[in-house]
Chain A
Amino acid sequence: MKYLTEFRDGELASKLAREIRQIVTRPWNIMEVCGGQTHSIIRNGIDQLLPEGVQMIHGPGCPVCVTPLEVIDRALAIAAQPGVIFCSFGDMLRVPGSAKDLFRVKSEGGDVRIVYSPLDAVNLAIKNPDKEVVFFGVGFETTAPANAMALHIARRQSLHNFSMLISHVLVPPAIEAIMESDENKVQAFLAAGHVCSVMGYWQYPPIAEKYRVPIVVTGFEPLDIMEGLRRVLLQLERGESRVDNAYERVVTHDGNREAQRLLAEVFDVCDRAWRGIGVIPQSGWRLSEAYREFDAEHRFAVSDIHAVESPLCHSGEVLRGALKPNECPAFGKECTPRHPLGATMVSSEGACAAYYNYGRFLSVEELVHA
């Protein structure tokens, strides 16, 4: 596909790898924030092309992974109710809640449906006026414009049988929380390109300045990631801490103003709990006053559901970048994509799933013969 395949060119990748090797004189720890980038890095072996000592630390940018257990439990409680059509992106269905997952609810008779877009859920509400249609609205700034538009349409059409269970999270406060943490090892960030396609990158200069940390807006194809790394390493070696854009074909400084306008109308910034990390102040969106009637949490009175995490799963440390997936004692043993202990092993953006799917539980010898 145009503008994808060109950015996967092997020859250009070796040129970039050579450039990177010429730049680096010291060890550095760089975090890619987005789970989509984690998958691209592991799938393409980009971490293995880097000079000795340059470490990729995988960030918390996997929406499914950071959705708190109690929100999953609330989703399960709503989905099990008669008369409800519960709609979600596919990733969410296998994420284990305290006792079961959405697939189990479906097998027990719950009407759980996988949709491609929140607009599909709005259409279901229009076609099923006698049912309550609930959409599981999780995600970062990338997914929020779609959810905002679905809510905007539902409100305009006075759809009283549509609501959303919301657990929206924001990238910049998470970056700040990582930099504030005592266990932090991150010295530079690849910012998530698609989040920035919506929000732009005007939010980042104060963070780069405050923590003296380079931030480079980066895309998702192998060459995009290597260029992001090249630019971030140049800054690190020179002792600079600026915001740079290595994904210029998609991201502008201002971002998508149309989307930002609707986001500001539909959502208010709020404190938000992140699975494995805890509450980060002002790090999420909830429905604004004008849209409060579409809040499934209140409509189904599930706010009182609370949950306790399993001690077997180390996904919190993985999400904070404190542990590599294959350093977890349960990785590939008790925990596999078929039998996940935590969301990081389920999601197509989860770091544990990336390590498992691309064979990072095998030794180099086993990989060669695989």
Chain B
Amino acid sequence: MGRVNFGGIVKDVCLAYVPEIAVGDYTIVHVGFALSKIDEESAQKTLETFREMGLLDEEFGEPEAVETVKETT
């Protein structure tokens, strides 16, 4: 068992399925069990890809209208 901090709330969590986990790592917890260690490098890479998305369009393309919300039913 280990202690996991959920944005301020600390709970005891079973770490048996993530033997590689170390103090300070981030993890996904479901019903008291850590299921996966979050790959921080991959998280940063994904966010970076999002940030770079459409940069060329923004510089050279037509200015985009704000989001148009589709009618709900």
Contact = CB atoms under 8 A, between A and B. Distances in A.
A251 interface: yes
Interface in A228-262: 248-252, 256, 258-259
Nearest to A193: B28
B24 to A, nearest CB: 11
Contacts of B42: 248-249
Contacts of A185: none
Interface string A1-34: 1110011010010111111001000000000000
B47 A12 contact: yes
- The DSSP consensus for interface residues of chain B is loop
B17 to A, nearest CB: 5
Interface in A309-346: 326
Contacts of A227: 46, 50
A88 to B, nearest CB: 12
Q: Which size bracket describes the interface of A in this complex?
A: 35 or more
B70 A197 contact: no
Contact of A142 (B35, B43, B46, B73): B35
A145 B53 contact: no
A256 B27 CA distance: 13
Nearest to B7: A1
A326 B72 CA distance: 11
Given A17-B67, A18-B54, A197 B36 contact: yes
Contacts of B39: 248-250
Interface in A278-320: none
Interface in B1-34: 6-7, 14, 16-19, 26, 28, 30-33
A267 to B, nearest CB: 15
A117 interface: yes
Contacts of A6: 43, 47
A3 B38 contact: yes
Contacts of A77: none
Contact of B46 (A49, A119, A149, A249): A249
B33 A149 contact: yes
Nearest to B36: A197
Given A194-B35, A258-B16, A3 B26 contact: yes
A52 B45 CA distance: 30
A117 B32 contact: yes
Nearest to A120: B32
B40 interface: yes
B73 A326 contact: yes
A146 B31 contact: yes
B33 A145 contact: yes
Contacts of B54: 15, 18-19
A352 B33 CA distance: 28
Nearest to B8: A1
B38 A249 contact: yes
B59 interface: no
Contacts of B40: 3, 249
Nearest to A367: B72
A143 B53 CA distance: 35
24 contacts: A3-B38, A6-B47, A7-B47, A14-B67, A19-B53, A19-B54, A45-B69, A48-B69, A49-B69, A49-B70, A117-B32, A118-B31, A142-B30, A143-B30, A146-B14, A146-B31, A146-B33, A223-B50, A249-B40, A249-B43, A256-B36, A258-B16, A259-B17, A326-B73
Interface of A: 1-3, 6-7, 9, 12, 14-19, 22, 45, 48-50, 52, 89, 116-120, 142-143, 145-146, 149, 194, 197-198, 223, 227, 248-252, 256, 258-259, 326, 360, 363-364, 367
Given A146-B32, A248-B42, A250-B36, 16 more contacts: A9-B50, A12-B47, A12-B50, A15-B53, A18-B54, A18-B64, A119-B14, A119-B32, A143-B31, A145-B33, A197-B28, A227-B50, A249-B40, A249-B43, A252-B36, A259-B17
Closest 5 CB pairs of A and B: A117-B32, A249-B43, A1-B7, A197-B36, A249-B42
